[in-house]
Amino acid sequence: MLILSFLLGLAFGSFANVLIYRIPKKLSIIYPFSFCPSCRNNIRWYDNIPLVSYVLLNGKCRVCGEGISLVYPTVELLCGLLSVLSYLRFGLPYAVIPFHFLFILVVISMIDIQTTEIPDELSYYLIASGILTSPFNFVVGKETFTRITNSLIGGLSGFVLLLTILIIGQKIFNKPVLGGGDVKLMCGIGCYLGTYAVFKILFLASLIASGYVVFLSIIKRRKLWGQYIQYAPFISVGCAIHLFAFNKLL
Ligand SMILES: [Zn+2]
């Protein structure tokens, strides 16, 4: 079962790579099948096996020999590990909802890192799917009714909290401290995890982001404070910590 969940996670990771590449370019996510970004040739199924193909092909396209970004196997491996962790932590069938949630966060984080934008459609998807799956989402409550209300209130708190920070930050610093994308993202996260988690994740994300900025400043010996940083990866790490480390199971 552990191996199966790892393999399933790898397959999702492979799909995550497709989403990360295609959503910002507004390409169809279903058709055409996988192709090499440099020579546009279709990738054969046997060259498209997560992790394995990357190793066998020595990180190069079979047709044009162009290097394949290390991001692809990293995302696959990350999804594989998240799948195993979700399975170990929540068991079946409960693991499905948290894993799906983390899978979308991986896609959002990678797109944010590469393009500094969080695609609205992914945040709206999180909000809609979070509310729709809430009756079965035991992370937000014990009974069906509390789950649904906690999900709705959680989404609202995420939205209001980040919007407040955005408005106050604008007043104090005279420039946006957050992107509008972060507000919608936190709304979606609230729908999956509830109000309490929204506050905790914001705190965790700020803590990790500050640590990261200090670390970078030391390494690069340059002042980085006040520079724009992509927030989605830190929020996502906060969500993973909340789900796997500190959240008492009901
Ligand atoms: Zn190629």
User: What pLDDT shows up at residue 173?
Assistant: 85
Q: Are 8 and 83 within 8 A, CB to CB?
A: yes
The set of residues, in sequence order, having a beta carbon less than 8 Å from that of 146 and lying 6+ positions away, is 140
User: What pLDDT shows up at residue 250?
Assistant: 44
Give me ligand 1 centre to Cα 17, in Å: 16
pTM exceeds 0.85, yes or no = yes
Cα 55 from Cα 77, distance rounded (Å): 13
CB atoms within 10 A of CB 149: 15
CB atoms within 10 A of CB 90: 19
The set of residues, in sequence order, having a beta carbon less than 8 Å from that of 241 and lying 6+ positions away, is 204
User: What pLDDT shows up at residue 30?
Assistant: 79
Give me ligand 1 centre to Cα 135, in Å: 45
CA 65 to chain centre: 30
CA-closest candidate to residue 87, choices 20, 7, 13: 7
Each residue of 235-244: pLDDT tens digit? 999 999 999 9
Phi, psi of 15 (to 5 degrees): -70, -35
Give me ligand 1 centre to Cα 68, in Å: 9
Give me ligand 1 centre to Cα 31, in Å: 18
Give me ligand 1 centre to Cα 59, in Å: 11
Residues 76-89 have a mean pLDDT of: 96
Q: Is the pLDDT of residue 136 over 70?
A: yes
Cα 240 from Cα 105, distance rounded (Å): 9
Percent of the chain beyond pLDDT 90? 70
Q: What's the mean per-residue pLDDT of the chain?
A: 91
Give me ligand 1 centre to Cα 44, in Å: 11
Cα 9 from Cα 224, distance rounded (Å): 36
Q: How confident is the model at residue 178 (pLDDT cuts 50, 70, 90)?
A: confident
Residues 194-213 have a mean pLDDT of: 92
Residues 173-177 have a mean pLDDT of: 82
Could you list which residues have their CB under 5 Å from ion ligand 1? Answer: 36, 38-39, 61, 63-64, 66
Q: Is the pLDDT of residue 247 over 80?
A: no
The verdict on whether omega for the bond into residue 93 sits within 30 degrees of 0, i.e. cis, is yes
